[in-house]
Structure 1
Amino acid sequence: MKRKDYKIYSLILITLIFLSSCKKALEIDPTTSYSSSNFWTETPQATAALYGAYTLLQGAMAPEFVLYGEGRADNVVINPLALSSQTLNLLTNNLNSSLPITSWNGFYQVVNQSNLILKNTLEMKAKGLYLGKDAEYASVRGQAYAMRAFCYFYMTRIWGKLPLVTQPLLDANQNVTIARSDTTAVYTQIQSDLDSASVMPIPAAYSTSSATRAQFTLGAVNALYTDFYMWRRQYRNALAASQKILSNSTYALASLYSASSTVDYNVNPALIDNTAYAQMFTKGFSTESIFEVDYNFAERATRSFLITVYGDLGFQPFFKASGYLSSKFTSTDLRSKINFDTNSGIVKYFEKSGFVRGTQDDKNVIVYRLADILLLRAEALNKTGDVPGAMTIVNQIRTRAGAVAYTEAAYAGLSTDQIEDLILDERARELCYEGKRWFDLVRTGKAIKVLQPINGLSQTENYLWPISLTEIRLNPLLDQNSYYQ
């Protein structure tokens, strides 16, 4: 597929060398363009179209997920040697509708691909093409529903009201003249799509471990349900959805700290690459992963371009670690050695030794993993009055990293809001640079409290992003978000 031609992604030319190893997840070549005369005539074509949707999702998510989920928050600061107007506007909270990152086009390409799949597979079944292939039919449609739900959920958290497009366009770049629906209608559509994916039913696993992590499964749908319900403050629903994940033996926390280990990571920092926790980010498809967007330079020449936003400061990425975040880690917490180096370079996704920019800038984007869902569950438990249950989860995440567990005396007598602050701090340590922090602060209503001293955020209307001026010119029925009018 063609990537957006953003100046922000301009790279130093690098000699491209193929890797000897691979992490293949999708087994059929993806398809994103069609001829009506010879397509949708056999079921493998629908599967290829589904894989095409995952390919389009690659373009929508990386490295954009960093800019959406971290760029306006407090985990990062600007690398002054790689200053750009776009990153400066993000961190100083001066968004405007002319910034390329304000376009939602990449997500709507995925929505359109999902709509094509849903329309055409229904017609294929009516023609008898799925006779005796009920599981295949359910799998393809369930994943398309899940992908559409994910895109609408991701977009509504950024732009609020959205044009709800549920029928395919003849051309994904065709101008759409549809007014924005309010968030209530968007939430209804998301709920409907998730429900459809659940009852198809979407598979619980696929033929390989990598495919199970790189495609939507029942576990991934339940993770999206959990996130969606937490955003809606439907805490008991979130507890029910997250419990389904905890009951699934497919997922387990990746190991990091061991009390019996004799390895001194201060002396040999590169050895931390050998831990399952570090390899969750550098190699992908860990036991902890629930859903990740798969990039593979060796086989498909796809890259996540994370080196443009994070990484060794010698390469001058856009962001480096904030002192505010690094101060949250204790000396025993090994996550600090995973997340950033002594020069405040953000190295979470890169091998500490032997990383090759030209061929290894294809790190996967982890959308959901078990620790994320556990900590969302801790928030829901706290909101429903089960503070001991919430803190048990927090301590599970802390001790996995070598940090000291909270004693009951440390949190006894704290208010629900104060306990929530403890959980959010743990999410900041555990999930930093994974595109979660901005959404966490907005979801819990703490964005102004945390960010006003940093970038002057002072109005809830400013939580939303502006609608791209390009999109408004293409669709005269679009109205601009109130803060930017």
Structure 2
Amino acid sequence: MKSRYNKIAGILLFFATMLSASCSSFLEEQDPSSLSPDSYFTLPEHATAGIAAAYDRTRFIGGGAGIFSVNWSMPEMVTGTASTETGQNTDLNNLQSLVYNGDNVHVNNWWNGLYVVIAQTNLVLDKVPGINPMEDATKKSILGEAYFLRAWSYFYLVRLFGDVPLIIKPVDASSPELKPTRTAVKDVYTQIVNDLKTAEASGLPFTDASGRASLGAVKTLLAKVYITMAGNPLNLGQEYYKLAADKAKEVIDNGGYSLFANYNDLHSVSTENVGEHIFELQFLASVDDNSLQDILLPNFKEISAYSTEIGSTVPTESFVKSFEAGDKRVQEQQFFYTSYYTGGIGPLKPLNKPYIFKHFDVLANGTFNTVGTTRSDLNIPNLLYSDLLLTYAEAQNETDGSPNAVAYKAINDIRTRATLPTLSGLSQAAFREAVWRERWHELCYDNLTWFDMVRLRKVYNEATNGFDDFVGHAFSYGPVLAQKHLLFPMPTNELKNNPNLGPQNPGY
């Protein structure tokens, strides 16, 4: 049955007329059943609750996507570096086999999840300026965070789907955005850049150990946006590589972030929102449990306190074998593990293949003689300093025609941590590919690889240690990338409910 309006509009309209239940504690003797944005956004506490709701919505990435899968898996399953040990989720298996379409649950969830964040930020940006009295610096900061989160959302959308509806105001029943049309990619990027520049000027602290958006996060995201604009599909070239390099250098020069000395700090509750973590998706077991733990465990090998072990997303052995000889990242319990404690507490049990350790919560799963809690407070990394360093190195090399000392230091700091030889004396082309290789290996399973594949139109070849063109590259387990895979399909339901969104992306 055809719905009255498409799902984007429904989401935007819903969040323009309702707020999360957590906001009700700030009300002053008002009937909750009569709430509206106009009656709610009257106190500074309402602004705080409104932006908190926007952060809450970002956790959709860790949300469920049908049986035995989460949304986080979608960008991993289409890279050729990930496989699955569960056959129950057809949508997940179709992603891995590159035969997905607009009916895919993961595709729908990414689309809807991102527009929910946009709906909430639009509400904050529209209503918070009118709250009076409210301390100016606090108001400016909250608006800066909202601009950051809206840009963050549209940056995902435009890379995943290409032309997408650009909606920057709350929607009500009379809004034309109930049936939105798609906006050209270049115009979406213009809005993203404008939002991030506004956020830059909003007085945010450079770092923020609470997990909120910081100035460092804004600048890091802007550097990533610029380097993406320099590449495909816009191909704006050297000017934007320079913008990316300059913005990344601002973050490096500030000194507020650094690489962890220990890889295990990448997935430790004690090191969240500091050091290498520029921005993370926040999880707290008592509020919203990190859902990656049982999903990423080996399929029912009984090595955890969790009763459900799924093996939903696991590394391909060919990718793990592609790391350089002596690379610390492939040593046991660094990025991967090949054995773990029986039941999470007992004798070591060999697993006979590698599994992802980068997101492993030792406290939740258990360790030798220590029972796991099966409740994970672990955040999901989103913006990493290692990514920022490699963004600078790549962008500077493209800008100046050869790597400078700072670019060498950026990549060599990462290689030194991995106990690999440092690089020197490379040509522009050789350095370019060295950075790309480092991105594939250092940033694996961080939801970054597919986006590199699309902007570069290149894919790492594990057998040759070189790079193939995107179109025609064959994964080690058989599927071949085609032109259509440069974008995900528009969700089928969206197209059915709103003809203004057509046509479907090419090839679907």
What TM-score range do you get, normalising by the shorter chain? Answer: 0.7 to 0.9
For residues 38 and 280 of structure 1, what CA distance do their matches in structure 2 show? 43
The structure-2 alpha-carbon separation of the partners of 1:101 and 1:358, relative to structure 1 and needing over 3 Å to count, comes to farther
For residues 392 and 198 of structure 1, what CA distance do their matches in structure 2 show? 27
Match for residue 457 of structure 2? 445
Superposed counterparts of 1:38-437, under 5 Å: 38-60=39-61, 62=63, 66-79=72-85, 81-103=86-108, 104-124=111-131, 128-130=132-134, 133-170=135-172, 176-206=178-208, 209=209, 211=210, 214-233=211-230, 234-256=240-262, 277-283=263-269, 284-298=272-286, 300=287, 302-313=288-299, 314=301, 315-336=309-330, 337=332, 338-342=334-338, 343-351=353-361, 355-356=365-366, 359-384=374-399, 385-389=401-405, 390-408=407-425, 412=426, 414=427, 416=429, 418-437=430-449
Question: What are structure 1's unaligned runs of at least 5 residues?
Answer: 1-27, 257-276
Q: Deviations over 1:15-74 (max 9, x none)?
A: xxxxxxxxxxxxx99549991264111011111110010001112455756334311002
For residues 60 and 458 of structure 1, what CA distance do their matches in structure 2 show? 24
| Mapped pair 1:476 → 2:473 | no
Name whichever of 66-75 and 242-251 sits farther off: 66-75
The structure-2 alpha-carbon separation of the partners of 1:187 and 1:38, relative to structure 1 and needing over 3 Å to count, comes to same
For residues 354 and 41 of structure 1, what CA distance do their matches in structure 2 show? 41
Amino acid at match of 1:148: R
Q: Deviations over 1:164-204 (max 9, x none)?
A: 11111359xx9831000110111111111111111223333
For residues 304 and 481 of structure 1, what CA distance do their matches in structure 2 show? 34
For residues 144 and 456 of structure 2, what CA distance do their matches in structure 1 show? 30
For residues 432 and 83 of structure 1, what CA distance do their matches in structure 2 show? 25
Question: What are structure 2's unaligned runs of at least 5 residues?
Answer: 1-19, 25-31, 65-69, 231-239, 302-308, 339-352, 367-371, 460-467
For residues 192 and 353 of structure 1, what CA distance do their matches in structure 2 show? 41
Amino acid at match of 2:83: V
The structure-2 alpha-carbon separation of the partners of 1:461 and 1:143, relative to structure 1 and needing over 3 Å to count, comes to same
For residues 444 and 377 of structure 2, what CA distance do their matches in structure 1 show? 19
Amino acid at match of 1:449: D
For residues 350 and 115 of structure 1, what CA distance do their matches in structure 2 show? 35
The structure-2 alpha-carbon separation of the partners of 1:145 and 1:191, relative to structure 1 and needing over 3 Å to count, comes to same
Does the residue aligned with 2:356 lie in a helix, a strand or coil?
Answer: coil
1:286 is displaced (CA, Å) by 3.4
For residues 496 and 21 of structure 2, what CA distance do their matches in structure 1 show? 35
Name whichever of 444-453 and 143-152 sits farther off: 444-453
Name whichever of 58-67 and 280-289 sits farther off: 58-67
For residues 139 and 229 of structure 1, what CA distance do their matches in structure 2 show? 23
1:407 is displaced (CA, Å) by 4.8
Q: Does structure 1 conserve the Cα–Cα contact (< 8 Å) formed by 2:363 and 2:376?
A: no
Amino acid at match of 2:412: N
Q: Does structure 2 conserve the Cα–Cα contact (< 8 Å) formed by 1:254 and 1:286?
A: no
TM-score normalised by the chain length of structure 1: 0.80
Q: Does structure 2 conserve the Cα–Cα contact (< 8 Å) formed by 1:77 and 1:319?
A: yes
Match for residue 25 of structure 1? none
1:140 is displaced (CA, Å) by 0.7
Match for residue 348 of structure 2? none
Does the residue aligned with 2:278 lie in a helix, a strand or coil?
Answer: strand
For residues 84 and 480 of structure 1, what CA distance do their matches in structure 2 show? 28
1:449 is displaced (CA, Å) by 2.7
Name whichever of 86-95 and 62-71 sits farther off: 62-71
Q: Does structure 2 conserve the Cα–Cα contact (< 8 Å) formed by 1:465 and 1:481?
A: no
For residues 424 and 194 of structure 2, what CA distance do their matches in structure 1 show? 42
Does the residue aligned with 1:158 lie in a helix, a strand or coil?
Answer: helix
For residues 104 and 503 of structure 2, what CA distance do their matches in structure 1 show? 14
Name whichever of 470-479 and 325-334 sits farther off: 325-334
1:380 is displaced (CA, Å) by 0.7
* RMSD value, Cα: 2.6
For residues 84 and 157 of structure 1, what CA distance do their matches in structure 2 show? 25
The structure-2 alpha-carbon separation of the partners of 1:428 and 1:29, relative to structure 1 and needing over 3 Å to count, comes to farther
The structure-2 alpha-carbon separation of the partners of 1:60 and 1:304, relative to structure 1 and needing over 3 Å to count, comes to same
Name whichever of 86-95 and 195-204 sits farther off: 195-204
The structure-2 alpha-carbon separation of the partners of 1:61 and 1:155, relative to structure 1 and needing over 3 Å to count, comes to farther
The structure-2 alpha-carbon separation of the partners of 1:458 and 1:285, relative to structure 1 and needing over 3 Å to count, comes to closer
Q: Does structure 2 conserve the Cα–Cα contact (< 8 Å) formed by 1:75 and 1:437?
A: no
The structure-2 alpha-carbon separation of the partners of 1:353 and 1:144, relative to structure 1 and needing over 3 Å to count, comes to closer
Q: Deviations over 1:204-223 (max 9, x none)?
A: 345xx2x1xx2111100001
Does the residue aligned with 2:98 lie in a helix, a strand or coil?
Answer: coil
Does the residue aligned with 1:366 lie in a helix, a strand or coil?
Answer: strand
**More strand by proportion, 1 or 2?**
2
Q: Does structure 2 conserve the Cα–Cα contact (< 8 Å) formed by 1:252 and 1:288?
A: yes
Q: Does structure 2 conserve the Cα–Cα contact (< 8 Å) formed by 1:399 and 1:405?
A: yes
For residues 69 and 285 of structure 1, what CA distance do their matches in structure 2 show? 23
TM-score normalised by the chain length of structure 2: 0.76
For residues 62 and 254 of structure 1, what CA distance do their matches in structure 2 show? 28
For residues 139 and 415 of structure 1, what CA distance do their matches in structure 2 show? 41
For residues 464 and 113 of structure 1, what CA distance do their matches in structure 2 show? 26
Name whichever of 422-431 and 358-367 sits farther off: 358-367
Does the residue aligned with 1:135 lie in a helix, a strand or coil?
Answer: helix
Amino acid at match of 1:240: D
Q: Does structure 1 conserve the Cα–Cα contact (< 8 Å) formed by 2:267 and 2:361?
A: no
Report the count of equivalent residues. Answer: 418
The structure-2 alpha-carbon separation of the partners of 1:232 and 1:68, relative to structure 1 and needing over 3 Å to count, comes to farther
The structure-2 alpha-carbon separation of the partners of 1:324 and 1:46, relative to structure 1 and needing over 3 Å to count, comes to same
For residues 427 and 30 of structure 1, what CA distance do their matches in structure 2 show? 40
